[in-house]
Amino acid sequence: MNKLSGKTALVTGSSRGIGRATAIALAREGALVAVHYARNQQAAQETVELIEKDGGRAFSLGAELGVPGDIDQLFRGLEAGLKQHTGQTTLDILVNNAAETSTGTAPEEVSAEEFDKTFAVNVKAPFFITQRALGLIPDGGRVINISSGLTRVANPAQSVYSMTKGALEQLTLHLARHLAPRGITVNSVLPGITDNGNAFFKIPEVREQMSELSAFKRIGEPDEVADAIVFLATDEARWITGAALDATGGSLLG
């Protein structure tokens, strides 16, 4: 406990699912967490309340990503919240988790609008969030990008989404080299099928089919992925950078 005492963190897309679990887990280790949401302020506030109920510290901030002015709006809220809670604007840990997902579209049916929106949220936003955050992140900080196990397997219906996550892993690789002189580590985490509360996870046939993909024959839980993310945020992972950590529950073992 308290491995991150005195640290600050921003988790984008932390109103539910893996993002919420990550925010809670980081706060449990002592970090002050900025809980970002795109549209669902109530859900983000629920995350903050869960953290505070557990004795942690957090604040929420809203900014829809992938639209003009998104980075400015995000950082206005972040810097104001950090200043209010700590008197400074230092950001120790950045978790790029927010993503535009898809229920699956065949390559022949992908529209230009869908393509552009997915890349705007999943690639452009993390790049410029990280760029802006580097002015706040001190030496020894952490950047953690949430990719996907889909970058390792073929799923034509998720081709655009997978492409964006592949791009995010490239960002991880190049920034890891670029930021190493400052002691800032940059890593990716690759979740597999994880129960994010979506209604289809409650359908027994769907759960059974999805469970078969994991070596453990079950669906992952958000806190299991969050634990991997928190590990990369701690000093224990100081010698790990440019890595892609498989958190798929053995879904890529064949």
Nearest to 244 by CA among 193, 169, 194, 140: 169
**Residues 153, 98: contact at Cβ < 8 Å?**
no
Helices (H) and strands (E) counted in the chain, each on its own, are 8, 7
| Cβ atoms within 10 Å of 217's Cβ, excluding its own | 11
Q: What are 216's two structure tokens? A: 């453990």
- Side by side, which strands form the sheet with 185-191? 57-62, 32-37, 8-11, 93-96, 142-146, 185-191, 244-247
**Active-site residue, 37 included:** no
The catalytic position among 142, 161, 195, 213 is: 161
**Residues 241, 180: contact at Cβ < 8 Å?**
yes
Q: How many CA atoms lie within 13 A of 67 on its CB side?
A: 8
| Cβ atoms within 10 Å of 232's Cβ, excluding its own | 23
DSSP character at residue 67 = S
CA distance linking residue 252 with residue 106, whole number of Å: 22
Nearest 5°: phi and psi at 145? -105, 130
Q: Which residue has tokens 């299991």? A: 224
**Residues 21, 222: contact at Cβ < 8 Å?**
yes
The residues annotated with a catalytic role in the active site are 161
